[in-house]
Amino acid sequence: MSFTQSHLKVGELATGHELNVPIFKFTGTDANAPTVYIQANVHGAEVQGNAVIYQLMQLLEQSTILGDIVLVPLANPLGINQKSGEFTLGRFDPITGVNWNREYFNHQVDVQDWYVEHQHLDDAALISAYRSHLVAACQQRLDNPWGITSGHLLAVSLQKMAHEADVVLDLHTGPKSCKHLYCPTYAHDRAKLFSIPYTLMIPNEFGGAMDESIFCPWWQLSEFLRTQDRELPVAVDAFTLELGSQEHIDLHDAKNDALGIMAYFSAKGVIEEHVAPAQMQRFGCYLQDYKKYHAPLGGMVEYKAPLGELLVGGEPLANILRLDKYGTDQVLTSLSLPDDCVPILHFASASVYQGTELYKVMTNLFEL
Ligand SMILES: [Zn+2]
116 Cα: distance to centroid of ligand 1 (angstroms): 38
- If one counts every other C-beta atom within 10 angstroms of the C-beta of residue 118, the result is 13
Average pLDDT over residues 86-102: 95
Q: What is the band of 300 on the pLDDT scale with cuts at 50, 70, 90?
A: very high
11 Cα: distance to centroid of ligand 1 (angstroms): 20
- Cα(104)–Cα(211) distance, rounded to whole angstroms? 9
* Alpha carbon separation from 109 to 106, 141, 220 (Å, rounded): 9, 14, 9
Q: What are the structural domain ranges in the chain? A: 3-280, 290-363
311 Cα: distance to centroid of ligand 1 (angstroms): 25
- Cα(260)–Cα(195) distance, rounded to whole angstroms? 5
Q: Do residues 23 and 72 make contact, with C-beta atoms less than 8 angstroms apart?
A: yes
Q: Mean pLDDT over all residues of the chain?
A: 97
330 Cα: distance to centroid of ligand 1 (angstroms): 35
Average pLDDT over residues 130-142: 98
- Give 192-239 pLDDT, tens digit per residue: 999 999 999 999 999 999 999 999 999 999 999 999 999 999 999 999
- Give 2-40 pLDDT, tens digit per residue: 899 999 999 999 999 999 999 999 999 999 999 999 999
68 Cα: distance to centroid of ligand 1 (angstroms): 25
Regarding beta strands 237-245 and 167-174, do their DSSP bridges make them parallel or antiparallel, or are they unpaired?
A: parallel
46 Cα: distance to centroid of ligand 1 (angstroms): 6
> Please, which contacts does 8-11 make with residues 24 or more away whose CB atoms are closer than 8 Å?
8/72, 8/157, 8/161, 10/77, 10/153, 10/154, 10/157, 10/158, 11/77, 11/78, 11/150, 11/153, 11/154
* φ, ψ at 165 (rounded to 5°): -100, 160
- pLDDT above 90 (res 1): no
Average pLDDT over residues 138-153: 96
Q: Tell which phi-psi region holds residue 308, choosing left (phi > 0), alpha (psi between -120 and 50) or beta.
A: left
- Cα(96)–Cα(23) distance, rounded to whole angstroms? 27
Percent of the chain with pLDDT over 70: 100
107 by Cβ neighbours in 10 Å (0-12 / 13-18 / 19+) ranks as: buried
36 Cα: distance to centroid of ligand 1 (angstroms): 20
Average pLDDT over residues 270-289: 98
- Cα(186)–Cα(217) distance, rounded to whole angstroms? 14
43 Cα: distance to centroid of ligand 1 (angstroms): 5
Regarding beta strands 342-346 and 3-12, do their DSSP bridges make them parallel or antiparallel, or are they unpaired?
A: unpaired
118 Cα: distance to centroid of ligand 1 (angstroms): 37
* Alpha carbon separation from 104 to 79, 149, 173, 221 (Å, rounded): 16, 12, 19, 19
Q: Do residues 308 and 359 make contact, with C-beta atoms less than 8 angstroms apart?
A: no
Q: What is the band of 123 on the pLDDT scale with cuts at 50, 70, 90?
A: very high
- Give 152-204 pLDDT, tens digit per residue: 999 999 999 999 999 999 999 999 999 999 999 999 999 999 999 999 999 99
Q: What is the band of 333 on the pLDDT scale with cuts at 50, 70, 90?
A: very high
> What pTM does this model have?
0.97
Regarding beta strands 342-346 and 176-177, do their DSSP bridges make them parallel or antiparallel, or are they unpaired?
A: antiparallel
325 by Cβ neighbours in 10 Å (0-12 / 13-18 / 19+) ranks as: middle
Q: What is the third-level CATH fold of 290-363?
A: OB fold (Dihydrolipoamide Acetyltransferase, E2P) (2.40.50)
41 Cα: distance to centroid of ligand 1 (angstroms): 7
Average pLDDT over residues 290-312: 98
Q: What is the pLDDT of residue 34?
A: 98
- Give 44-72 pLDDT, tens digit per residue: 999 999 999 999 999 999 999 999 999 99
Rg (CA), the chain: 22
Average pLDDT over residues 138-160: 97
Q: How many helices (H) and strands (E) does the chain have?
A: 7, 20
- Cα(108)–Cα(249) distance, rounded to whole angstroms? 37
- If one counts every other C-beta atom within 10 angstroms of the C-beta of residue 151, the result is 24
361 Cα: distance to centroid of ligand 1 (angstroms): 17
Taking Cα atoms as reference points, which of 44, 47, 50 lies closest to residue 91?
44
- pLDDT above 80 (res 320): yes
Q: What is the pLDDT of residue 173?
A: 98
Class level of CATH domain 3-280: alpha beta
172 Cα: distance to centroid of ligand 1 (angstroms): 4
DSSP state of 341: B
